Amino acid sequence: MIALVGILLMSFGPREGKKEKKTQDFVISKVLPFPAMDVWKVVGEDYGKIADSHPKIVHSEYISGSMKAGEGAERICNFNEKGTQYLREKMVNYDPENMTFVNTVYQAGKFPVDPEVTRAIYTVKPIDANSCQLVFDMKFRTKPAMMGGMMKGKFTGLIEDYFIAIEHHLKTGEKVTKENFKDIKKGYEG
């Protein structure tokens, strides 16, 4: 009997190591009517200039000695003029031949995300000479964890808006801002 209890405890008892913390995941993709290289230029090569094509980012720039996109490039994305709402991000697994990279968050000022877990994979997939699919695959954890479901909805909407903004930016060359995005979005919904 004691041997049976020991076997059961070994089988169902506590596991070694830490318990894996719950994360949220989502994937969003959009077919864009532009050559893959044009879209890659915006999301991959102009990494530090994301504010030009993102409706919620008021300012972005390369930081920590980064001068251009590539393995280890770092940027800061400010979501308000004061610079108190920001993300510091790093580009890893940069693969320009396959038009993909991983964007990791390593510091999140006033955002409830866990930088140790938050990351997104950007991939641009050519369809034909004049169109491609942009794929955004995100994994994150919130602090506190109970906000995960709510933030997943907010992040999903934010990325859907970002895709509209990228399309507009490529079509017109115009910088997308918080101020002009409402009208831009109406044009894409109508």
CB 160 within 8 A of CB 55: no
Nearest to 151 by CA among 78, 136, 177, 143: 143
Q: Is the peptide bond before 126 cis (omega within 30 degrees of 0)?
A: no
Residue with tokens 């641009």: 124
Q: What is the pLDDT of residues 7-27, one digit of tens each?
A: 444 444 444 555 667 899 999
Burial class from Cβ neighbours inside 10 Å (0-12, 13-18, 19+) for residue 20 reads: exposed
Q: What is the pLDDT of residues 150-179, one digit of tens each?
A: 999 999 999 999 999 999 999 999 999 999
Q: What is the pLDDT of residues 56-113, one digit of tens each?
A: 999 999 999 999 999 999 999 999 999 999 999 999 999 999 999 999 999 999 899 9
Q: How far apart are CA 31 and CA 36, in angstroms?
A: 10
What tokens does 189 get? 């919904």
Q: How far apart are CA 14 and CA 20, in angstroms?
A: 13
Q: How far apart are CA 14 and CA 26, in angstroms?
A: 30
- Whether the pTM exceeds 0.85: the reply is yes
Query: Could you confirm whether domain 21-189 is CATH 3.90.1150.60?
Result: no
